[in-house]
Amino acid sequence: MSFLDMDERILEIAARVEVVYSPLVDLKEFPADVDVTIVEGGVSSEEDLHKIRMVRSRTKLLIALGDCAVTSNVPGMRNTFKVDDVMKRAYFENADLKQQVPSDVIPKLLPRTRPVHEVVPVDVFLPGCPPPADVIFGALVSLLDGTTPDLSGTRFGR
Ligand code: SF4
């Protein structure tokens, strides 16, 4: 949503980039030789881990966007519990019907949710929940201009 909060400035960014992979792009496979990838969310499952390693291997500069990616934040709230207890809570105690753990539709959870930089190198951190739109815009413009992003608008800069 912070992306959309850039309002008309998003057009300025769009004119200077080619979006090759996103939920809005109908491409199933993450392409090779990507210049910049922006990742949201923590690394919670074996599928997440596989995906972020693949993404890292195919991108030159990786941005961790938002507290969930930077610190594990909300998905990391489960980290004080065992995976079995989390699953039991979600699929048995909180379910009125069909109390069972789905075995083939959800990826296997890791023992704890990890921030992105714990599993692959991250080049730029944009914290915040959500990150301020001005910071996202400024960082993207800086990268497009070939300069170092100014993160003073984030709490890292304070
Ligand atoms: S807004 Fe906050 S909770 Fe939602 S994905 Fe971003 S960092 Fe996580």
HEC profile of 76-116: HHHHHCCHHHHHHHHHHHCCCCCCCCCCCCCCCEEEEEECH
pLDDT < 50: residue spans in the chain: none
- Decide whether any atom of ligand 1 lies within 6 Å of the 48 Cβ: no
Which pLDDT value is given to residue 158?
A: 56
**C-alpha–C-alpha distance, residues 155 and 62, integer Å:** 20
Please classify residue 63 by burial: count the beta carbons closer than 10 Å to its beta carbon, then call 0-12 exposed, 13-18 middle and 19+ buried: buried
Which pLDDT value is given to residue 157?
A: 58
Q: What is the mean pLDDT of the chain?
A: 92
Q: Which residue has the tokens 């993160």?
A: 151
Q: Give the atom of ligand 1 at the shortest distance from the alpha carbon of 70.
A: 7
Q: How far is the CA of 98 from the centre of ligand 1 (A)?
A: 30
pTM, full prediction: 0.91
Q: How far is the CA of 39 from the centre of ligand 1 (A)?
A: 11
**C-alpha–C-alpha distance, residues 78 and 95, integer Å:** 18
Q: How far is the CA of 40 from the centre of ligand 1 (A)?
A: 8
Helix boundaries (H) for 1-107 = 9-14, 46-58, 67-71, 83-88
Which pLDDT value is given to residue 75?
A: 96
- Decide whether any atom of ligand 1 lies within 6 Å of the 66 Cβ: yes
